[in-house]
Structures are given as structure tokens and as C-alpha cells.
Structure 1
Amino acid sequence: MLQLNVNLLFTIINLVVLYLLLKKFLIKPVTDVMEKREKLIADGLNEASSAKEEAARLKSEYEAALTGAREESVKIVEKAQVQAKAEYERIVKEAGDKAGSMLDSAKANIQLEREQTMKALQSEIAGLAMTAAAKIVSEKTENQGNQDIYNQFLEEVGDAHDDTDRH
């Protein structure tokens, strides 16, 4: 039995030595590799998480900037519309004023031409009447009564002609 015990003892020693060798040359390097991989994976997850947070922050900044740009563009469009409306109203008012002044000027010119035409017509009518009266009188100068009518007519036409010159 002793022999069994010695064999048992050698087997136990062999197992302990094998265990120590495996621990030193196999288990420790495998454990180190596993720890390094675990640390590498944890660092990767941390970096991914921080990159995700940074991306979310940048996304919110870009959305805020985009919203601000949209609001600014709306303000610019509204301002341009207000300016265009004011310019339109100014141009329409100027056109109305110009048309009104042209209309007033045309009315004044028409009135002036009318007055000038009336004076010219009155002068021409007076001249024609005098010519007609002179012809009538020259044909009938024999009759002295016609001479009086002629003189009276000339006085009336002369008075009428003087009245039109005064106006």
C-alpha cells in the first residue's frame, strides 16, 4: 500500500506541478489577454458613447442653427415684402401726383386756349360785321338814313369790341 501512497503522492505532486505550470504559462497569459480585450472593449464602448453624445450635441446645434436660419430667412422675406410694398405705394403715389398735375396743367391749357379762341372769334366776328356793314353802307350811301344806321352799328360794334378786349 505504500506503493500506492507513493504513487498517489507522485500523482498529486505531478498535478500540483502541472497546475502551477498551466497557471504560469497558460492561464495567466490567457487571463491577461482576456483582461486586455475586456479593457479594449470597455474603452471602445466609452468612446462610442462619448461620440454618440457629441453627435447628439452637434445635431442639436445644427438643428438650432437651421431653425435660426429659417427664422432669419422668413424675416428677410417679410422685410423685402414690406419694402416692396412701400416702394409700390410710393411709385403709385408719384404716378397719381404726376397724373394729377398733368391733368391740372392740361385743364389750365385748355381754359387758356378757349379764352384765346373766344377772343380771336370775337375779333373776327367784329371784323366780319364791320366789313358786312361797310359793304351795305357803300352800296346804299345815297340814302343818308343808312349812313346813320351804319354809324350807330359801328359804335355798337366798337363798344362790344372794347368790352371783349377788357376781359
Structure 2
Amino acid sequence: MFLVLSETLEGSGGLFDINATLPLMALQVVLLTFLLNIFFYSPVTDVLDKRDAYISDSLTSATSMLDKAELLSSEYEERLVSARQEAQDILTSSKDEAQNTVRLEVEQAQKDTQKLIDESTKQLNIQKDLALRTLQDQVDVLSEQLKAKILAA
């Protein structure tokens, strides 16, 4: 049975038979390629193109936002450095002003103290002179009284 079957197969043209089946198969391949192009490859290509465009836009947007964030960060860093420097300047200025005020008040207190000492010394000298004059007058009076008693005796 295999012999009969193999003879019928070989007798009809061998491995490649050129008949109406070959052009029909070629037409099916072309039609399948055309239909796959329309219904599968084009939509898939469109989706892939849209995905690439979305990724590209997202990447561009992210890069732009990153650049903007870096710019803002550097700007804020500069402002922070400036604010710190300004605070340090204000602190130094306030410290200098406070030291100057304290120095002036100490000088004024020293002047007032010196003035008070001078006035007290002057008052004491006046009182001393007055006491000396009073004492001198009393010594003179006592001398006169003693002289009068000695001469009267």
C-alpha cells in the first residue's frame, strides 16, 4: 500500500507542483501581509510611536523641571547665603552699637563720678577752711582770754 501511494505522489510532479495552488498560496501570503499591515502592524506601530513620543515628552518635561528645580535651588541657596550674611552683619552692627553705647555710658558715669568727687573735695576743702578759720578765731579768742587772765593776775 505504501508503494502504490508513493508512486502516485511521485508521479504527480514531485516536491514542487506548479498548478493553481501555488499562485493561490502566493495570493494568500500577499493578502495576509496586507491585512496584517493594516490591522496589526499599523496600530502597533502607532501605539509604539505614541509611546515613544510620550516618553520623549515626559523626558523633556522632566529635564526641564529638573533644570528649573536646580535653578531655583541655586537661587534659594544664594538668597540663604545673602540672608545669613545680612544677619551676621546686623548682629555685628548691633554688637558694635551696644559696645559703643556701653562705652559712652561708662565714660559718662566716670565723668559724673569725677565731677561728684571734685564737688565733694571742694565742699570738704571749704568746710576745712571754715573749720580752720573758726578754730583760728577760737584760738585767737582763747589766746586773748588767756592773755587777759595772765595780765590781770
Instruction: With the length of structure 2 as denominator, give the TM-score of the two structures.
Output: 0.83
Which SS does the other structure have where 1:5 is aligned?
A: coil
- Any gaps of 5 or more consecutive residues in structure 2? 1-12
Aligned partner (choices 65, 75, 95) of residue 109 of structure 2: 95
How far the C-alpha of 1:124 sits from its partner, in A, is 1.8
Q: Which runs of 5+ in 1 are unaligned?
A: 141-167
Task: Give yes or no for the alignment of 1:5 onto 2:19.
Answer: yes
In structure 1, C-alpha distance between the alignment counterparts of 2:46 and 2:121, rounded to whole Å:
110
2:92 maps to which of 78, 87, 104: 78
Which string of whole-angstrom CA distances, capped at 9 and with x for unpartnered residues, describes residues 94-113 of structure 1? 01111111111011011100
SS of 1:79's partner is helix
Runs ≥4 residues deviating over 3 A: 1-4, 130-138
- Structure 1 CA distance, aligned partners of 2:17 and 2:140? 177
Find the counterpart in structure 2 of residue 24 from structure 1.
Answer: 38
Deviates more, 1:36-45 or 1:3-12: 3-12
* CA–CA distance in structure 1, aligned partners of residues 100 and 42 of structure 2: 85
Residues paired across the two proteins, number: 139
Q: Which amino acid aligns with 1:99?
A: T
Cα offset, 1:93, TM superposition: 1.1
Moved more, 43-52 or 118-127: 118-127
Query: 1 CA distance for matches of 2:22 and 2:97?
Result: 106
Percent identity, aligned pairs only? 29
CA distance in 2, matches of 1:96, 1:135: 56
Alpha-carbon offset, residue 79 of structure 1 = 1.1
Q: CA deviation at 1:9?
A: 0.8
2:121 to 102, 107, 124: 107
Amino acid at match of 1:43: D
Shift of 1:5: 2.6
Superposition deviation, residue 74 in structure 1: 1.7
Q: Deviations over 1:53-86 (max 9, x none)?
A: 1011101101111111111112111211221121
- With a CA cutoff of 8 Å and minimum separation of 6, indicate the structure with the bigger relative contact order: 1
Task: State whether structure 2 residue 48 is matched by structure 1 residue 48.
Answer: no
Task: Name the structure 2 match of 1:65.
Answer: 79
TM-score, normalised by the number of residues in structure 1: 0.76
Counterpart-to-counterpart distance in 2, 1:86 and 1:74? 18
Q: Is 1:127 equivalent to 2:137 in the alignment?
A: no
**1:3, distance to aligned residue in structure 2 (A):** 6.4
